Every structure is written in structure tokens, then in C-alpha cells.
């Protein structure tokens, strides 16, 4: 349901598609790309996360995010110090990405036990891709490595980590942005679709892109980069890094034969891109190909390991 129908709504709400697109009347070819996201699973650096998660969604269109509004909900006993901390984090993160904060709302909310921050980011563009644009035969490529965000969130909780590994893992919050790599990949003209790997991690993103594009996929577990820090955190907590929240990891559907060109563009933007599978016709199914060669049929989006871990605490 979209409320009142409008011919100016070019990309409507849909599973797996993280932003809407609205035509700008009187401006030939121009559109507004807009996305909203809440941050509910973290408290530390919540302002930083809130800016980056919505900015990433807009960036998967291929355009740089430009403007932001926020809603900050706080426990009733929160003071000015907490407000200043959250808004300062948001200001620094927005400035780094070139985003202007245009307004928002802050309130004390009854029965709330920790802060919740929601952001809406938007930009003006002329061309874009969506997560629904993947084509059968496209290579499935991944930037950085799996479980970037989950590694940062859970680093302080994982047992058995040496202090140096823990510090490096906690520093993964600096890797949350996909803006530069998404724009660079899009500018090659060889990318059909992009998606930020948020809830459900790499496997969740593959499922959502395939579902939105009416395709199947083969995701090769052995090909997915997993950093030492992520491996250590997930081993300590007995979590699957492929199913762990991973803002900061960008999934791309890349024209067959253009993998090296896209990887080079992403490298020049300061990241890396790896081929981890392919999109296939829907009738061939959606499979995770295990390291040992077994094939796991993925029938539905995976439950994120972060929420599984929280339930077990």
C-alpha cells in the first residue's frame, strides 16, 4: 500500500529495495532518492551508526547522499549531555560524508530504556539502480568483508580475544560507509544492482536482491572474505559471519565480464571487491554453497545472528 497513488512515485516500497524514488516535476530527468532507517541494536556511537546506515541505502542507488533529517527518542531520565553526544556524533559523520542535516525531532519517551535514533537521508539525482535490477548471469560481488558492523558491535562481548584483536575489531565502526565504493562502482556503468548488507548479513543481502530481482543465486561460502577479527569474534560467540549484520559491506550485481573493471574502480575508491557467486534464473533456486561442497537451500531471509545472540544472553 502506498497511500494516495502518484505518477511521480517511480520506485515504490518493495521487499529488498531500500529507498524510494520520486520524480521532480518541472526538472527534466531529475528525481529524489530517499531512505529511512532506525538504529535500535546499539547505544555506543548510535549517532554515527544512524547517519551511515541511511546514507548507505541512498548510496546503493549510485548517487551520493546529500541531506538528512532525524528523530531521536530518549529515555525519560536522559539529560542534555546525552543529546549533545548523539548529535555531535551525527554532525561529525554527516560532515565526513558531505551530508547537510536539515532538521529533525528529539523527545523524551515514556518506558523507553535506551536511545533510538531514526534518520531519513535523501539526494537529487538523474540516474540510479535499485536492488531489483540484477540480471541472470550477473556476478555477485562483495566489498570489504563479511559482518563488518556485527564485528564492531560484538567485539567487546567476545571471549578469548587478545587486547590487540579486540581493539581492531572495535574499530570496524570506521568501515561502516559504502558511499565512496558504491558511487565508484556505479560510475563504471557495469553495475545492474546494489544492496547494503544490513540485517541478515551477506546471506540476507543475497536473498533480498534475488527476491527483489525475481532471481536465484549461488553464494560461495569459500569465496566470501572474512577478516581475522571477524572470525575471532564469531568463533568466540559461536555465530555465523555470513548471517551477521554487515553495514559497511556492499553487494553488487555486476555485468558478466566486467568484474575486473568494477574491482579496479572500487579499489581506487579505497576499498576492495571480490566475486563471491552469481545470480541465476529463479527456477535454479537460492543456494549457499558450503566450503565442503554441500548446497544449502535458502528458502527465506535468515534471522540475523546479532538478535539470536541477544536472545541467548
62 contacts 189 by C-beta, under 8 angstroms: no
Q: Domain 9-125 carries which CATH code?
A: 3.30.1330.10
State the Cα–Cα distance between residues 309 and 25, nearest whole angstrom: 47
- Locate CATH 3.90.650.10 in the chain: 131-312
Q: Beta strand 100-108 with 67-74: parallel, antiparallel or unpaired?
A: parallel
- Locate CATH 3.30.1330.10 in the chain: 9-125
State the Cα–Cα distance between residues 186 and 46, nearest whole angstrom: 29
State the Cα–Cα distance between residues 183 and 271, nearest whole angstrom: 12
pTM as predicted: 0.94
Please give the chain's pLDDT, 313 residues, in tens.
678 999 999 999 988 899 999 999 988 889 999 999 999 878 889 999 999 999 999 999 999 999 999 999 999 999 999 999 999 999 999 999 999 999 999 999 999 999 999 999 999 999 999 999 999 999 999 999 999 999 999 999 899 999 999 999 999 999 999 999 999 999 999 999 999 999 999 999 999 999 999 999 999 999 999 999 999 999 999 999 999 999 999 999 999 999 999 999 999 999 999 999 999 999 999 999 999 999 999 999 999 998 877 777 6
Phi, psi of 65 (to 5 degrees): -70, 145
Which residues does 83 contact at the CB level (< 8 Å), separation at least 6?
Answer: 72, 74, 106
Helix 46-59 with 80-97: angle, nearest 10 deg: 30
Looking at residue 1, its pLDDT comes to: 65
79 contacts 89 by C-beta, under 8 angstroms: no
Instruction: Give DSSP secondary structure letters for the chain.
Output: --SS--TTEEE--BTTB--EEEE-TTSTT-EEEEEEEEE-S--TTHHHHHHHHHHHHHHTTTS---EEEEEEEE-TT--HHHHHHHHHHHHHHHHHHTPEEEEEEEEE-TT--S-EEEEEEEEEES----GGG--TT-EEEEES-TTHHHHHHHTTT-TT--HHHHHHHHGGGGG---HHHHHHHHTTT-EEEEEE--TTHHHHHHHHHHHHHTEEEEEEGGGS---HHHHHHHHHHT--GGGS--TT-EEEEE-TT-HHHHHHHHHHTT--EEEEEEEEEGGG-EEEE-TTS-EEE--SPPPPHHHHHHHH-
CATH superfamily of 131-312: PurM-like C-terminal domain (3.90.650.10)
269 contacts 184 by C-beta, under 8 angstroms: yes
State the Cα–Cα distance between residues 73 and 49, nearest whole angstrom: 15
Amino acid at each position: 500500500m502506498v497511500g494516495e497513488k502518484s505518477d511521480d512515485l517511480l520506485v515504490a516500497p518493495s521487499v529488498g529495495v531500500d529507498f524510494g524514488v520520486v520524480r521532480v516535476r518541472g526538472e527534466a530527468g531529475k528525481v529524489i532518492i530517499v531512505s529511512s532507517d532506525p538504529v535500535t541494536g546499539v547505544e555506543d556511537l548510535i549517532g554515527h551508526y544512524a547517519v551511515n546506515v541511511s546514507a548507505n541505502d541512498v548510496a546503493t542507488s549510485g548517487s551520493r547522499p546529500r541531506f538528512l533529517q532525524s528523530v531521536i527518542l530518549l529515555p525519560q531520565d536522559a539529560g542534555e549531555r546525552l543529546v549533545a553526544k548523539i548529535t555531535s556524533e551525527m554532525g561529525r559523520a554527516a560532515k565526513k560524508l558531505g551530508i547537510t542535516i536539515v532538521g529533525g525531532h528529539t523527545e523524551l519517551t515514556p518506558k523507553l530504556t535506551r536511545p533510538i535514533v531514526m534518520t531519513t537521508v535523501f539526494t537529487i539525482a538523474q540516474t540510479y539502480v535499485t536492488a531489483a535490477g540484477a540480471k541472470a548471469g550477473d556476478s555477485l560481488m562483495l566489498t570489504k568483508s563479511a559482518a563488518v558492523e556485527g564485528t564492531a558491535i560484538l567485539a567487546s562481548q567476545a571471549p578469548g580475544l587478545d587486547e590487540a584483536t579486540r581493539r581492531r575489531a572495535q574499530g570496524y565502526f570506521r568501515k561502516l560507509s559504502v558511499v565512496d565504493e558504491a558511487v565508484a562502482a556505479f560510475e563504471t556503468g557495469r553495475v545492474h544492482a546494489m544492496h547494503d548488507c544490513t540485517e541478515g548479513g551477506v546471506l540476507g543481502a543475497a536473498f533480498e536482491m534475488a527476491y527483489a530481482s525475481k532471481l536465484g543465486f549461488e553464494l560461495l561460502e569459500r569465496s566470501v572474505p572474512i577478516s581475522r577479527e571477524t572470525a575471532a569474534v564469531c568463533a568466540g560467540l559461536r555465530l555465523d559471519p555470513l548471517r551477521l549484520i554487515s553495514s559497511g559491506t556492499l553487494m553488487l550485481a555486476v555485468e558478466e565480464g566486467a568484474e575486473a573493471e568494477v574491482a579496479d574502480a572500487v579499489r581506487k575508491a579505497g576499498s576492495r571487491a571480490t566475486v563471491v557467486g552469481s545470480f541465476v534464473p529463479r527456477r535454479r533456486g537460492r543456494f549457499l554453497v558450503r566450503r565442503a561442497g554441500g548446497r544449502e537451500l535458502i528458502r527465506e531471509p535468515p534471522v540475523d545472528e546479532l538478535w539470536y545472540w541477544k536472545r541467548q544472553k
